[in-house]
Amino acid sequence: AQSVTQLDSHVSVSEGTPVLLRCNYSSSYSPSLFWYVQHPNKGLQLLLKYTSAATLVKGINGFEAEFKKSETSFHLTKPSAHMSDAAEYFCVVLVGAGGFKTIFGAGTRLFVKA
């Protein structure tokens, strides 16, 4: 069965320190993986995506994620947090031949302290 697990519901970092948001997936197919960000009372914005090309994916706002098949992980990182990064982050796996089976993680809320 396909699933996606975000290992932390909340992460708190200080401004200027690294960010790590963890995501593990389970898929019978070769997955497509995404990270989205949602700021308060806004829709979701695509940060980055993995689609079976390079395993290290760079996204917007300095974020990147590495696809590790052996660990079934797709963790999101950023070298230096900014106050504007405070938001909720969703890991998403897209499975199935038609691409309509989309599984959202429960979300990780990132807090950034000054």
Partner 1 sequence: DVKVTQSSRYLVKRTGEKVFLECVQDMDHENMFWYRQDPGLGLRLIYFSYDVKMKEKGDIPEGYSVSREKKERFSLILESASTNQTSMYLCASSPPGRRNYGYTFGSGTRLTVV
Binding site for partner 1 (CB under 8 A): 32, 34, 36, 41-46, 49, 51, 90, 94, 98-100, 102, 104-107
Least Å distance between CB 21 and partner 1?
15
Q: Are 106 and 38 in contact (CB under 8 A)?
A: no
**Nearest to partner 1 of 97, 114 (CB atom):** 97
**Nearest to partner 1 of 63, 90 (CB atom):** 90
Least Å distance between CB 61 and partner 1?
16
**Nearest to partner 1 of 81, 92 (CB atom):** 92
Q: Residue 94's closest CA among 35, 45, 8? A: 35
Least Å distance between CB 17 and partner 1?
27
CB atoms within 10 A of CB 45: 13
Q: Virtual CA dihedral for 109, 58, 93, 26, nearest 10 degrees?
A: -90
Least Å distance between CB 82 and partner 1?
22
Q: Residue 37's closest CA among 110, 100, 95, 99? A: 110
**Nearest to partner 1 of 7, 104 (CB atom):** 104
H helix count then E strand count, the chain: 0, 12
